[in-house]
């Protein structure tokens, strides 16, 4: 059974987009909104959690780029003559 390479690229992009978004939102939900002690440790932790969330958002955006690349590969493969 031969599977077109465009399908694998599409599946990777489709998986990257929601997983990156879900994990980013999960990290944002874990950040505490109440800072009772004004502790520098809590502030530092919040900063690093925001950094992780931004990196996961980048993964989600890269998933969209992969889907666009898949469309280009899919139509380029369709234009090739079959041997």
pLDDT of 20 over the 70 cut = yes
Residue identified by tokens 């996961």 is: 56
Give the span between the Cα atoms of 45 and 16, in whole angstroms: 26
Q: What is the pLDDT of residues 34-83, one digit of tens each?
A: 565 667 777 788 888 889 889 988 988 998 999 898 888 888 877 777 66
pTM of model > 0.75: no
Residue pair 16/62 in contact (Cβ under 8 Å)? The answer is: yes
Residue with tokens 């003559």: 81
Q: What pLDDT shows up at residue 65? A: 92
């Amino acid at each position: 059974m031969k599977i077109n390479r465009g399908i694998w690229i599409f599946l990777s992009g489709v998986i990257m987009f929601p997983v990156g978004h879900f994990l980013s939102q999960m990290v944002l939900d874990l950040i505490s909104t109440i800072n009772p002690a004004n502790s520098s440790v809590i502030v530092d932790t919040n900063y690093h959690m925001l950094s992780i969330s931004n990196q996961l958002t980048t993964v989600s955006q890269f998933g969209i780029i992969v889907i666009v690349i898949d469309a280009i590969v899919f139509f380029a493969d369709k234009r090739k003559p079959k041997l």
